[in-house]
Amino acid sequence: MDNHLLERITHNPDISQPRVVQAAYDIVGQYNQDQINGFDEHFLTSFVELVDLENAENVLDAMSGDGNLTRRMINYCLERQISVPAITLLEYSSVQTELARRTIDLDTVIILHGDILSMKDLQSGEILPDNSFDRVVIKSGTHEIPVAKQQQLYRSIFRVLKPGGVLINLGFLFEDVQERDEFIEITKVKETLVGAMDAVANRYFLLREEFYKFLELAGFKEIRGLTSFEYVIRSEIVEKEYFSTPKLSNAMAELFAAQKRAMTLCNHRRIVFEANRSTMHLPGEITIAVKPQMF
């Protein structure tokens, strides 16, 4: 294994405040997405295994945030002496894109500040070509897209996949509409406190039947859930990652109040309170969908 390379791609420097604030995740800045969601190393490695990198030449890490999944995919390959495929990161927040650029430096990785809905590089205006990728991987991204644009999202992914290519999506996936609607209300409170107002307006958490229908309408086949899991979101980690500045000192009280209003989630023990802490257990799924050879 090339230790120098590993060091370069896992280096995680501090980043200064953004000069231009646009997207929700510009405001969020540096944070640990996996820790917030309660994902451990074993779970994340098993997710990367499902991407089947051994058999992929071109991978799109879409809605990639700070590039943590790409870093993990690269490390996975290096540790197993698998050749690293060409990877394209596509991320809407310029701040998250910059974090990825500062921590990933490999010739086979392209980092684009871009929009998944148009598959456009917002800097150059170039659009990712049809039939380019063997895999499109999304980790905790689809809920950032408003319901009116959800269908466009899966059509865009379908377009850039090669025939036979696979979407591997890890995301929230609800069965119960009331649970879903209550969770949307809780996240609105959190995003308002953080100041991420476009997330307040846009976020949409999918029901399984909606998600599978969107995929089907986009042309995907062999749609199936590979793993069901729970997002485990602990209030103390939310506080540390989002609300640690003094001006947000009242944030936890507001968040707890929002969680207590979520009667169904509480009754179903998806929100559990203990002393001055809470833990949310929310449903998620790793789903795969294939672009057929003939479509």
Ligand X SMILES: C[S@@+](CC[C@H](N)C(=O)[O-])C[C@H]1O[C@@H](n2cnc3c(N)ncnc32)[C@H](O)[C@@H]1O
Q: What is the contact surface with ligand X in residues (CB under 6 A)? A: 23, 25, 33, 63-65, 68-69, 90-93, 96, 115-117, 139-141, 144
Residue closer to ligand X by CB (options 24, 166) is 24
What would the two tokens of residue 263 be? 């009667």
Q: Could you tell me which residues come within 8 angstroms of residue 209 by beta carbon, excluding any fewer than 6 positions away?
A: none
Residue closer to ligand X by CB (options 25, 220) is 25
Residue closer to ligand X by CB (options 139, 291) is 139
Give the SS3 label for residue 81.
coil
Residue closer to ligand X by CB (options 185, 222) is 185
- From 48, 110, 52, 55, select the one nearest 75 (Cα to Cα): 48
Q: Smallest distance, Å, CB 90 to ligand X?
A: 6
Whole-angstrom distance, CA of residue 259 vs CA of residue 269: 12
Cite the DSSP H helix spans in 38-67.
41-51
Residue closer to ligand X by CB (options 231, 261) is 231
Q: Smallest distance, Å, CB 42 to ligand X?
A: 17
Residue closer to ligand X by CB (options 115, 254) is 115
Residue closer to ligand X by CB (options 27, 84) is 27
Half-sphere exposure of 85 (CA within 13 A, CB side): 23
- From 224, 221, 220, select the one nearest 285 (Cα to Cα): 224
Q: Smallest distance, Å, CB 231 to ligand X?
A: 11
The per-residue b/e assignment along 83-121, b for 16 or more CB within 10 angstroms, e otherwise, is ebbbbbbbbbbbbbbbbbbbbbebeebebbbbbbeebbb
Length of the chain: 295
Instruction: Compute CA distances 140 → 60, 109, 145, 164, whole Å.
Output: 14, 21, 11, 23
Q: Smallest distance, Å, CB 198 to ligand X?
A: 9
Q: Smallest distance, Å, CB 216 to ligand X?
A: 22
Whole-angstrom distance, CA of residue 75 vs CA of residue 84: 9
Q: Smallest distance, Å, CB 67 to ligand X?
A: 8
| Residue nearest ligand X, Cβ-based | 65
Whole-angstrom distance, CA of residue 32 vs CA of residue 102: 16
Residue closer to ligand X by CB (options 21, 266) is 21
Q: Smallest distance, Å, CB 86 to ligand X?
A: 19
Q: Smallest distance, Å, CB 25 to ligand X?
A: 3
Task: Please give the full DSSP string across 269-287, using - where no structure is assigned.
Answer: TSEEEETTEEEEEEEEEEE
